[in-house]
């Protein structure tokens, strides 16, 4: 650190929560090098809900995993509150598509896991867990084990787990991709409610255009070969958004045009 970082001219005086600057990601595949992400630049302000969409191979999950700290940056800079991200940490909570719950812990123990790992007293962690179990509507299942839960319930636990751990940024990798349509819709609503209440910043990876328009303040469109950002669209529609509305459909057409033209 210590280097003076250039500040884009368009930026205000407020420090963005996440500042991704000209980030590349290359993987070595034997003798070959594959560029998964090329020159990605993205600023996310505190409280923003950003969706990353694009076909597979566009680098959206790679970008998310770099923000999470699971992957290193090959070139460029990835800053949170101005400081380089150097590994996974509780300030950036990740919600996986396959949940990643600890099967040997109950719902409340899964939620208390983070606070206890960070050295909070047991009683305090238990109280926190109770609060978040209630928040995601799983009080009746507080002592159930993950294998006894439905997919939607597991994903609620996964969300509660990162919130209970004071995550400022919530990273979601196609979190509702494995759920049925009804459950997905309900979880989208609940997520928006939690996001508004907890003043979270969310990066949400999806390949469903409609899901992105329902949720996001901004939809970042990516394209493959090599993965890169091709558009960053602000969604100004008031919430809750009506997927059958005219403006909604205009946006849908616009975004699918962007995606289609780069195939």
Nearer to another protein, 107 or 213 (CB): 107
Question: Closest separation between CB of residue 225 and another protein, Å?
Answer: 27
Question: Closest separation between CB of residue 116 and another protein, Å?
Answer: 9
Nearer to another protein, 106 or 188 (CB): 106
Where do contacts with another protein occur on this chain (CB under 8 A)? 68-70, 87-90, 92-94, 96, 98, 100-106, 113-114, 117-118, 145-147, 161-162, 165
HEC string for the chain: CCCCCCCCCCCCCCCCCEEEEEEEEEEEECCEEEEEEEEEEEEECCCCEEEEECCCCCCHHHHHHHHHCCCCCCEEEEEECCEECCCCCCCEEEECCCCCCCCCCCHHHHHHHHHHHCCCCHHHHHHHHHHHHHHCCCHHHCCCCHHHCCHHHHHHHHHHHHHHCCCCEEEEECCCCCCCHHHHHHHHHHHHHHHHHHCCEEEEEECCHHHHHHHCCEEEEEECCCCEEEEEEECCCCCCCCCCCHHHHHHHHHHHHHHHHCC
Nearer to another protein, 125 or 187 (CB): 125
Question: Closest separation between CB of residue 149 and another protein, Å?
Answer: 12
Question: Closest separation between CB of residue 177 and another protein, Å?
Answer: 15
Question: Closest separation between CB of residue 232 and another protein, Å?
Answer: 26
Nearer to another protein, 68 or 214 (CB): 68
Nearer to another protein, 114 or 219 (CB): 114
């Amino acid at each position: 650190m210590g280097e003076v970082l250039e500040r884009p001219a368009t930026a205000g005086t407020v420090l963005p929560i996440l500042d991704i600057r000209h980030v590349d990601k290359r993987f070595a595949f034997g003798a070959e090098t594959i560029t998964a992400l090329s020159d990605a630049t993205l600023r996310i302000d505190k409280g923003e809900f950003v969706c990353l969409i694009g076909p597979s191979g566009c680098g959206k999950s790679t970008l998310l995993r770099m923000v999470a700290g699971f992957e290193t940056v090959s070139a460029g800079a990835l800053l949170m509150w101005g400081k380089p991200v150097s590994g996974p940490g509780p300030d950036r909570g990740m919600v996986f598509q396959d949940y990643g719950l600890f099967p040997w812990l109950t719902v409340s123990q899964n939620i208390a896991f983070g606070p206890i790992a960070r050295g909070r007293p047991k009683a305090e962690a238990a109280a926190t867990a109770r609060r978040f179990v209630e928040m995601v509507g799983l009080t009746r299942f507080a002592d159930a084990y993950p294998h006894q839960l439905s997919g939607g319930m597991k994903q609620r636990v996964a969300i509660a787990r990162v919130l209970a751990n004071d995550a400022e940024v919530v990273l979601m990798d196609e979190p509702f991709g494995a759920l049925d349509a009804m459950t997905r819709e309900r979880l989208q609503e609940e997520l928006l409610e939690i996001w508004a209440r907890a003043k979270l910043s969310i990066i949400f990876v999806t390949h469903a255009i409609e899901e992105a328009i329902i949720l996001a303040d901004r939809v970042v469109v990516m394209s493959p070969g090599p993965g890169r950002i091709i558009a960053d669209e602000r969604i100004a529609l008031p919430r809750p958004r009506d997927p059958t509305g005219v403006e909604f459909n205009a946006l849908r057409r616009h975004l699918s045009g962007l995606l289609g033209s780069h195939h």
